[in-house]
Amino acid sequence: MDFQEAVPRVLNFADQCASVSSQFPVEVWDIVLDHLHDAPAVLKQCSVVCKRWTRTSQYHLFTTLVCHSRSTTTPKALARFLSTKPHIARHVLRLILLNRDDLSMEVLRSMVLALPTLRSLFFRSVIITDSLELEESVDAQIHPPSRVLEELTFMNCAATDNTLYLILGLFSSIDHLMLDDRSDGLVYNQPAHLVPRHLAITKFGMISVSIALVATLVRGSRMAETTTAVRITGFGKGSDSPEALGEVLQSLSCLRSAQLFPVQVNGQEILDYPHNLWARLGIARCKSLQAVELPIASMHHANDMCIWLKHWFSIVPYLPASIREMQFAIVTFPEVPVVGSVPVAELWETLDRAIMETMPAQIRVEIAHRTMLPSHLPPAHEREAMKTFVFQGLPETAKSGRLSVVI
């Protein structure tokens, strides 16, 4: 019988638990309860054993709050609960809202303000209706909040940009902001006066978000002086131009790192993009940019990587002189197993020589596999084989110390 199975049996004897708990220091029981962080049913029982156990149990029970379409509690009821139970609200570090169609900006504001230690806010497929008066928005601008958020994700939600700006305005700074509008749910009114002037954002990511909205946000907030890293997937909406995106990037005076993941546009594959696209982006005018990351999107065989690398190395003339590292993200592993694959000499020798002879000596090369899901991680023997394959294909670059492979 494991520990989690044993605890509920012990908890049936509440008097015994209370008696036993008094025989040990509180710190000992805290350690015991910490081991139950992923057993909510047990923690609920622990929380009513005695006062000593209540605080630690509640910490683990309420660290993450999730309100989704199957929740019996409405957002309004949840906001009221949090407002009247500050001893519980103080434990909430992450708030996740999923597939709700009954959330108003007023309720959301009440919910957030009731959570003094909130660090992460996640929205996905949520419909948010406007309900705050403009006067309240102006007050928020005059008296900026002091709340710091580690991450905010706004994914496939139906809302106006007014609402988005009001949400952002609840915080003084956000370490990582991710906007994803692939569902085309954001309505663009471009109310520049609602952009939170006090807001500082360190890292910013966008997928299919209008460049006009991003430009308004950058101009109206402190992003131009605080944003150091961006991740751009696609180049905004279909009507957006590379020049518009380039102007936004150039306005970020502290930008150090840029992940640029262009997508297929009008049936045109990434490898077929004309080089003037990169000239139109004007990245060369991002004078503080030190690292750029580009995708190796699809491969049938490991040798296909060479084609991707040659394509991306050809845009070096369009990069600023400040660049110190070019990073290449392997999105998916080759269909053909890497184990047993051999680099095609004529392909890789040409690339290896080009890197050593034509690429500025200060630029390092990193090839890495990027995945957010452990289930997408290739087997260890495939990852090790890929490292060996790349080092065999680029021996001179590897010998120079300018190549690293992180897989």
Q: What's residue 249's pLDDT?
A: 96
Q: Which domain holds residue 381?
A: 291-407
pLDDT digits (tens, 9 = 90+) for 107-148: 999 999 999 999 999 999 999 998 655 445 545 455 567 789
In this predicted structure, which of 34-43, 80-89, 197-206, 335-344 has the lowest mean pLDDT? 34-43
pLDDT grade, residue 266 (50/70/90)? very low
Domain end residue (candidates: 62, 91, 108): 62
Average pLDDT over residues 297-317: 90
Structure tokens at 146: 């002091």
Adjacency order of strands within the sheet including 257-261: 64-67, 94-98, 120-124, 148-155, 173-180, 200-207, 229-233, 257-261, 291-296, 325-330, 364-369, 403-406
Examine residue 363 and state whether it is found in any structural domain, yes or no.
yes
Out of 125-139, 251-265, 338-352, 370-384, give the one with best mean pLDDT: 338-352
How much is the pLDDT for 240? 83
State the pairing for strand pair 103-104/64-67. unpaired
Least confident of 31-40, 106-115, 200-209, 260-269: 31-40
Is pLDDT at 19 greater than 60 in this prediction?
A: no
Please check whether residue 233 lies inside any domain of the structure: no
Is the pLDDT assigned to residue 275 strictly greater than 70? no
Most confidently predicted of 3-12, 60-69, 157-166: 157-166
Start-end of H helices in 169-303: 211-220, 223-226, 242-251, 276-281
pLDDT(78) > 70: yes
What integer pLDDT is reported at residue 64 of this predicted model?
A: 83
- Residue range 277-285: mean pLDDT, rounded: 89
Per the domain annotation, does 285 fall within a domain? no
Question: Which of 185-189, 270-274, 318-322, 375-379 is predicted least confidently?
Answer: 270-274
* pLDDT tier, 57 (very low <50, low <70, confident <90, very high otherwise): low
Does 230 fall in a domain?
no
Query: Which residue is listed with tokens 């309720």?
Result: 107
Its pTM stands at 0.83
Which residue has better confidence, 369 or 58? 369
Q: Rounded distance, CA 310 to CA 284, Å? A: 19
| pLDDT score recorded for residue 203 | 98
Is residue 75 within 8 A of residue 127, CB to CB? The reply is no
Cβ atoms of 386 and 338 closer than 8 Å: yes
What is the distance between the alpha carbons of residues 26 and 52, in angstroms, rounded to a whole number?
A: 7
CA–CA gap between residue 146 and residue 200 (Å, rounded): 11
* CA 365/CA 356 separation, integer angstroms: 11
pLDDT recorded at residue 111: 93
Read off the pLDDT band of 299 (50, 70, 90): confident
Q: Is 236 left (phi over 0), alpha (psi -120 to 50) or beta?
A: left
Residue 201 domain flag: no
- Asked if the structure places residue 283 within a domain, the reply is no
The pLDDT score that the predictor gives to residue 8 is 47
Q: Where are the alpha helices (DSSP H) in 257-372?
A: 276-281, 304-313, 345-358
pLDDT band at 331 (very low <50, low <70, confident <90, very high): confident
Specify if 387 maps to a domain.
yes
Tell me, yes or no, whether 5 lies in a domain.
Answer: yes
Say how many domains are in the chain.
Answer: 2
